[in-house]
């Protein structure tokens, strides 16, 4: 089939006294009205009758998108289905329970109880912003791979390649749920393998040079913003938990006498409980913070409401205020700082990984071994805090070596 139109022709088409057509081939054309409106149309024959299908309005629907809709309509004709009747049937569905959005929200409601709150929030926002506007009202069993790809391309075009891949993964989960519940026959997202550019993993910016770490710690101690934020900044390098775990920290989970913080499974990315031994220096920060916030639930309550934790941007914003760009240091970067330096110092790699709460591949083993290496981890966390103190003083010190280095 010869495609005669090019995008510039469509864009530059001027209105005339009477409406006219610009033919693209294969039954599709652009109808240009005297008022300047431009409508995509597709003429076809079904059971001997000539019919016309509206494909959208330019520029909301591009030439490429109109062609894709035309091709999908042709596919329906090959299968003996009338594209216009299929569209009417979709619009007249009684309750929309088979639409992509309805199925996706049902899937999400069944899954979110097993996710950390910040993870579930990201998933539903991603679907609402990037997927529902384009295929949300489509009957899920009728959606084809090109439709999903068009939605993903919009994400790709704004440079969010990793988000596009994650959205594709979420779509696949929704389609597989639809198959399991009898509302779809297959997962069209599986046909998109290789259709998106590869996502290049980005490491979180982090300060790792010991002298630079010392300078960062001194800057944190001199932070002139909120006292609560300064406490969070002081604990971040000592505890090196994930930023979400730190800002959601709750007083009932802390045993200051026993010098440990036990994070429940529902607030961990791995969905397993986690123990954070508290060095003497961490206890000092917590004891200073305690009178200010212990009446509430959170160690670091939000500015507008004590019933919610501090914003996810608070620590990063404080780092920017201190002069560290997003390419130099992030809240998540305290984890890679600790991992790099502790490994260099010879601490047991398994103990470091357990303290970082990296997901255990064997979920059964993980459920019973969250306290693994705890004796060594207590020693490591105190030695780490002592080492940070030495760097903060600017001392030229040899760090305490871990047991695996001896």
Q: What is the mean pLDDT of residues 29-58?
A: 89
Q: How large is the C-alpha radius of gyration of the chain? A: 29
The reported pLDDT for the residue numbered 404 is: 46
The DSSP code for 11 is H
Q: Judge whether 100-192 and 210-405 match in fold.
A: no
Structure tokens at 134: 């384009």
The reported pLDDT for the residue numbered 317 is: 93
The reported pLDDT for the residue numbered 405 is: 41
Residues 6+ apart with CB under 8 A from 25: 1, 2, 3, 4
**Residue 153: pLDDT over 80:** yes
Are 340 and 237 within 8 A, CB to CB? no
**Residue 402: pLDDT over 80:** no
Q: What is the mean pLDDT of residues 145-151?
A: 94
Identify the active-site residue in 33, 218, 368, 401.
368
Which CATH superfamily includes the segment(s) 210-405? Intergrase catalytic core (1.10.443.10)
The reported pLDDT for the residue numbered 240 is: 95
Catalytic site includes residue 223: no
pLDDT band at 96 (very low <50, low <70, confident <90, very high): low
Q: What is the mean pLDDT of residues 327-336?
A: 91
Which CATH superfamily includes the segment(s) 7-91? Integrase, DNA-binding domain (3.30.160.390)
Residues 6+ apart with CB under 8 A from 12: none
CATH of domain 100-192: 1.10.150.130
**Range among 13-22, 230-239, 271-280, 391-400 rated most confident:** 230-239
SS3 of residue 160 by DSSP: coil
Q: What is the mean pLDDT of residues 318-334?
A: 90
The reported pLDDT for the residue numbered 356 is: 92
Identify the active-site residue in 358, 365, 393, 401.
358
- Burial class from Cβ neighbours inside 10 Å (0-12, 13-18, 19+) for residue 22 reads middle
Are 173 and 166 within 8 A, CB to CB? no
Identify the active-site residue in 38, 139, 168, 242.
242
- Burial class from Cβ neighbours inside 10 Å (0-12, 13-18, 19+) for residue 294 reads middle
**Residue 187: pLDDT over 90:** yes
pLDDT band at 396 (very low <50, low <70, confident <90, very high): low
Report pLDDT digits (tens) over 272-323: 899 999 999 999 999 999 999 999 999 999 988 888 999 888 999 999 999 9
**Residue 241: pLDDT over 90:** yes
Residues 6+ apart with CB under 8 A from 27: 42, 43, 44, 70
**Residue 34: pLDDT over 90:** no
Are 380 and 347 within 8 A, CB to CB? yes
**Residue 200: pLDDT over 70:** no
**Residue 145: pLDDT over 60:** yes
Percent of the chain scored above 90 by pLDDT? 60
Q: What is the mean pLDDT of residues 117-121?
A: 76
**Residue 357: pLDDT over 50:** yes
Percent of the chain scored above 70 by pLDDT? 89
Catalytic site includes residue 358: yes
Identify the active-site residue in 126, 139, 267, 335.
335
Catalytic site includes residue 335: yes
Give the number of other CB atoms < 10 A from CB of residue 185.
Answer: 10
Identify the active-site residue in 247, 267, 332, 392.
332
The DSSP code for 156 is H
In 149-280, beta strands by DSSP E: 254-255, 260-263, 274-277
**Residue 360: pLDDT over 70:** no
Please choose, from the candidates 170, 171, 169, 159, the residue with its C-alpha nearest in 3D space to the C-alpha of residue 197. Answer: 159
The mean pLDDT of the chain is 87
Q: Where are the domains of the chain?
A: 7-91, 100-192, 210-405
Distance, in Å, from the CA atom of 68 to the CA atom of 346, rounded to the nearest integer, reads 58
The reported pLDDT for the residue numbered 272 is: 84
Structure tokens at 131: 């997927």
**Residue 203: pLDDT over 70:** no
Catalytic site includes residue 332: yes
**Residue 159: pLDDT over 70:** yes
Are 136 and 99 within 8 A, CB to CB? yes
Are 400 and 386 within 8 A, CB to CB? yes
Comparing 391 with 358, the larger pLDDT belongs to: 391
Please choose, from the candidates 27, 15, 21, 57, the residue with its C-alpha nearest in 3D space to the C-alpha of residue 40. Answer: 57
Instruction: Give the ranges where 222-279 is alpha helix by DSSP (H).
Output: 227-239, 243-247
**Residue 221: pLDDT over 80:** yes
Identify the active-site residue in 122, 138, 165, 269.
269
Q: Give the lowest-confidence range in 13-17, 112-116, 192-196.
A: 112-116
pLDDT band at 270 (very low <50, low <70, confident <90, very high): confident
Comparing 191 with 3, the larger pLDDT belongs to: 191
Distance, in Å, from the CA atom of 162 to the CA atom of 196, rounded to the nearest integer, reads 10
Comparing 132 with 82, the larger pLDDT belongs to: 132
Q: What is the mean pLDDT of residues 167-191?
A: 92
């Amino acid at each position: 089939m010869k495609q005669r139109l090019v995008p510039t022709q469509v864009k530059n088409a001027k209105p005339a006294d009477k409406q006219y057509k610009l033919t693209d081939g294969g039954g599709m054309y652009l109808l240009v009205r005297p008022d300047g409106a431009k409508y995509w149309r597709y003429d076809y024959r079904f059971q001997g009758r000539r019919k016309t299908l509206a494909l959208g309005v330019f520029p909301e629907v591009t030439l490429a998108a109109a062609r894709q809709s035309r091709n999908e309509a042709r596919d329906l004709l090959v299968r003996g289905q009338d594209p216009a009747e299929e569209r009417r049937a979709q619009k007249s569905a009684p309750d929309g329970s088979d639409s992509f959005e309805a199925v996706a929200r049902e899937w999400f409601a069944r899954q979110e109880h097993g996710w950390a709150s910040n993870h579930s929030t990201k998933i539903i926002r991603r679907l609402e912003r990037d997927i529902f506007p384009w295929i949300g009202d489509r009957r899920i069993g009728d959606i084809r791979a090109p439709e999903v790809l068009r939605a993903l391309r919009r994400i790709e075009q704004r440079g969010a390649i990793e988000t596009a891949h994650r959205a594709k993964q979420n779509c696949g989960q929704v389609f597989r749920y639809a198959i399991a519940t009898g509302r779809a026959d297959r997962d069209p997202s599986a046909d998109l393998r290789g259709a998106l550019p590869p996502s290049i993993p980005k490491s979180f910016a982090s300060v790792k040079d010991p002298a630079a770490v010392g300078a960062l710690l001194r800057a944190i101690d001199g932070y002139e913003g909120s006292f609560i934020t300064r406490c969070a900044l002081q604990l971040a390098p000592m505890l090196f938990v994930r930023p979400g775990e730190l800002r959601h920290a709750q007083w009932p989970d802390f045993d200051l006498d026993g010098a440990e913080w036990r994070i429940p499974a529902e607030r961990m990315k791995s969905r397993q409980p986690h123990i954070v031994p508290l060095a003497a220096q961490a206890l000092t920060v917590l004891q200073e913070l305690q009178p200010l916030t212990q009446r509430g639930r959170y160690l670091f309550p939000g500015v507008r409401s004590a019933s919610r934790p501090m914003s996810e941007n608070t620590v990063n914003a404080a780092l920017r205020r201190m002069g560290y760009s997003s390419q130099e240091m992030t809240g998540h970067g305290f984890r890679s700082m600790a991992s790099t330096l502790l490994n260099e110092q010879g601490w047991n790699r398994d103990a470091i990984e357990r303290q970082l709460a990296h997901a255990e591949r064997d979920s059964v083993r993980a459920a019973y071994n969250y306290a693994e290496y705890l004796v060594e981890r207590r020693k490591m966390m105190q030695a780490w805090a002592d080492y940070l103190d030495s760097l903060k003083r600017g001392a030229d010190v040899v760090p305490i070596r871990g047991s695996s280095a001896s």
